[in-house]
Amino acid sequence: MTEPLIELKGISKTFGNNKVLDNVDLTIYRGEAVGIIGPSGTGKSTILRVIAGLLNPDEGEIYIQGVRRDGLIEDGIDPVGIGMVFQQAALFDSLTVDENVGFLLYQHSKLARSRIHELVKERLEMVGLSDIGHLFPSELSGGMRKRVSFARAIMSNPDNGKDSPEVLLYDEPTAGLDPIASTVIEDLIRELQLANGVCSTYAIVTHQDSTIRRTADRVVFLYQGKVQWQGTVSEMDSTDEPLIKQFRSGNVQGPIQVVN
């Protein structure tokens, strides 16, 4: 795990007067699982969107497998595929599960519909869902919708080797789920990491303690637009760093300013 796959160097992003990311440096190594934590509104989702190539930073450089990215993901120059699983499952309500998961291939590939249908079925099986392709999102539980969104994120065109996402970015994948449904999702994230190298590297934004513990090899703490601390989960439990101590305890007193 020594090769940097994603490198952010001096990334800044301001919305209006709000400098959300302030000269952030972050490296994610191949095969690594990075948990990004920090208080609400501190730029965690923003950093994922920058890595995904959905948002351009104002300043700084992004390297994907050593290649500098210039522009957004739609420019299609990244040497490895990067997929994103959004906080809300973001499924189209008027489409079936099959049509949601296969959406990009149905719209943009030359593959036969029957072939796409098979690929969708495989991906749904990978996330532990069978025989639900014909259902609509409103007929699923929250946990199932999340799993469908995972299946969509790992969907790829077999005719295009670069299409398969090697990196997955998860934005609060267990938010709003009960503890057992969260465990199912956490296990799935690790299983996908080990399966066929589909998404062997990932970054995950989460507020849930169990998700941090069960899915992160390295934890990065973001606050006031900067990476303030990073370490393993056990280092997070033992460090005397005042920001982490306060975050760990949930105490309103401390260096983290409480926003009401």
Ligand X SMILES: Nc1ncnc2c1ncn2[C@@H]1O[C@H](COP(=O)(O)OP(=O)(O)OP(=O)(O)O)[C@@H](O)[C@H]1O
The 3-state secondary structure of 143-192 reads HHHHHHHHHHHCCCCCCCHHHCEEEEEEECCCCCCCHHHHHHHHHHHHHH
55 or 111: CB nearest ligand X: 55
**Cβ closer to ligand X: 19 or 30?**
19
CB under 6 A: which stretch of 12-20, 96-104, 180-188, 190-198 binds ligand X?
12-20
Quote the least distance from Cβ 18 to ligand X, whole Å: 5
Nearer to ligand X, 43 or 102 (CB): 43
Least Å distance between CB 220 and ligand X? 12
Binding mask 35-74 for ligand X (x = CB under 6 A): ---x-xxxxxxx----------------------------
> Judged by CB under 6 A, does residue 15 bind ligand X?
yes
Going by their DSSP bridges, the two strands 201-205 and 67-68 should be labelled as: unpaired
- Give me the least distance between CB of 258 and ligand X, in Å please: 14
Contact criterion met (CB below 8 Å) for 137 and 90: no
- Kindly state the smallest distance separating residue 177's Cβ from ligand X, in Å: 16
- 38 versus 133: smaller Cβ distance to ligand X: 38
215 touches ligand X (CB under 6 A): no
# chain residues binding ligand X, by CB under 6 A: 11
Nearest distance from C-beta of residue 71 to ligand X, angstroms? 18
SS3 state of residue 258? coil
Residues 6+ apart with CB under 8 A from 237: 248
Cβ 39 to ligand X shortest distance, Å: 7
DSSP 97: H
CB 195 within 8 A of CB 112: no
Shorter beta-carbon distance to ligand X: residue 149 or 164 = 149
CA distances from 51 to 5, 14, 48, 185 (A): 11, 16, 5, 22
Report the residue number, 157 or 223, with the smaller CB distance to ligand X: 223
* 1, 3, 10, 18: which one binds ligand X (CB under 6 A): 18
**How crowded is the C-beta side of 176, counted as CA atoms within 13 Å?**
12
With 0-12 CB in 10 A as exposed, 13-18 as middle and 19+ as buried, what is 130?
exposed
Q: What residues line the site for ligand X (CB under 6 A)?
A: 15, 18, 20, 38, 40-46
